[in-house]
């Protein structure tokens, strides 16, 4: 099981494709407004696909309490769905990054209470977290 957060922008500029002759300049498109209206998508997936997702309120971000609540909801969702992996291995193996809200003591305590195994994520190693780029 893995999960991540991603900003979703409300303003999505239209990109146009055009063919140009060799040596001619191509047409440019505007970059998204990084400071416009956006909302955060929190998404969790396993080998079978997306298990749970949540869109936060515009401008809201993840904190320790919210992340801990998402872990609890995710656990209930896994119990209901009873994925093949959960039946086969009997435990949840979680891979998440080292964000402060993910590594706080309340979250660690919750994961310990749920008996989830947490795979360590090396600091400053985005290349080892291919799941960060797989879905987005």
Q: pLDDT tens for residues 22-75?
A: 888 777 666 656 666 788 999 998 877 888 999 999 878 899 999 999 999 999
Res 124 pLDDT > 80: no
CA–CA separation, 51 and 16 (whole Å):
34
**Whether 40 contacts 62, CB under 8 Å:** yes
Mean of pLDDT over the chain: 79
Angle between helices 64-81 and 105-113 (to 10 degrees): 20
User: Per-residue pLDDT averaged across 10-29, rounded?
Assistant: 70
Q: How many CB atoms lie within 10 A of CB 74?
A: 21
With 0.75 as the threshold, say if the pTM is over it: no
Domains contained in the chain, CATH given: 2-134 (3.30.420.10)
């Amino acid at each position: 099981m893995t999960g991540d957060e991603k900003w979703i922008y409300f303003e999505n500029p239209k990109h146009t494709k055009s063919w140009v002759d060799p040596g001619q300049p191509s047409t440019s498109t505007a970059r998204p407004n990084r400071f416009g209206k956006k909302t955060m998508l929190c998404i969790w997936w396993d080998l079978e696909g997306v298990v749970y997702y949540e869109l936060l309120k515009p401008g809201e971000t993840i904190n320790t309490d919210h992340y801990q609540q998402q872990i609890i909801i995710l656990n209930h969702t896994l119990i209901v769905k009873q994925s093949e992996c959960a039946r086969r291995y009997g435990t949840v193996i979680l891979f998440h990054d080292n964000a402060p809200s993910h590594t706080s003591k309340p979250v660690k305590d919750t994961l310990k209470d749920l008996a989830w195994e947490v795979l360590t994520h090396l600091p400053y190693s985005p290349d080892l977290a291919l799941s960060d780029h797989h879905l987005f």
